[in-house]
């Protein structure tokens, strides 16, 4: 994940996926395990640059936007002892990861609100933001 240009050019990957055709890349619940110093937005941009027009990028990402600061600190401390740490990012930070893509309605929204089967209570805090972007241009 931290080396997308290498990953996307591996012969085994190229054998399985035809990047000259539109594809969907699912970055679901993984980017919050990428440290700011590893440039998560640049990772998404490198992946997107490699895709054919008409491809989709799906992102879901943990957030602390609507949680008390103490709860966010506690979660961060729990992850400090884990194999990898986690980073809660704001809606704006996550939205920038979809820059250059056409957002599919309902846009960047709470995972719970993404085409829900039943209404989401307005008091329900957002724990994950999610969005789907389509790479502009004409698909081959």
Of 4-13, 29-38, 80-89, where does mean pLDDT reach its minimum? 80-89
pLDDT computed for residue 83 by the predictor: 64
Q: Which domains does the chain have, with CATH numbers?
A: 4-114+122-134 (3.40.50.150)
Q: What is the mean pLDDT of residues 1-7?
A: 91
pLDDT digits 0-9 by tens, 37-49? 999 999 999 999 9
pLDDT of 30 higher than 90: yes
Q: Bridge partners of 121? A: none
The pairing of beta strand 56-62 with beta strand 109-110: unpaired
pLDDT digits 0-9 by tens, 98-116? 999 999 999 999 998 887 7
- Give the residue from 25, 26, 30 showing the smallest Cα distance to 2: 30
**Per-residue confidence band for 120, with pLDDT thresholds at 50, 70 and 90:** confident
Peptide bond into 88 cis (omega under 30): no
């Amino acid at each position: 994940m931290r080396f997308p240009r290498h990953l996307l050019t591996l012969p085994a990957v190229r054998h399985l996926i035809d990047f000259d055709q539109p594809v969907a890349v699912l970055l679901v619940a993984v980017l919050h395990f990428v440290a700011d110093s590893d440039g998560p937005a640049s990772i998404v941009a490198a992946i997107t640059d490699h895709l054919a027009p008409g491809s989709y990028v799906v992102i879901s990402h943990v957030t602390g936007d609507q949680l008390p600061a103490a709860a966010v600190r506690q979660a961060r401390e729990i992850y400090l002892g884990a194999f990898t740490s986690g980073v809660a990012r704001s809606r704006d930070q996550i939205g920038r990861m979809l820059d250059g893509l056409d957002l599919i309605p309902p846009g960047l929204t709470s995972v719970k609100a993404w085409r829900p089967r039943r209404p989401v209570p307005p008091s329900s805090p957002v724990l994950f933001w999610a969005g789907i972007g389509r790479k502009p241009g004409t698909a081959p």
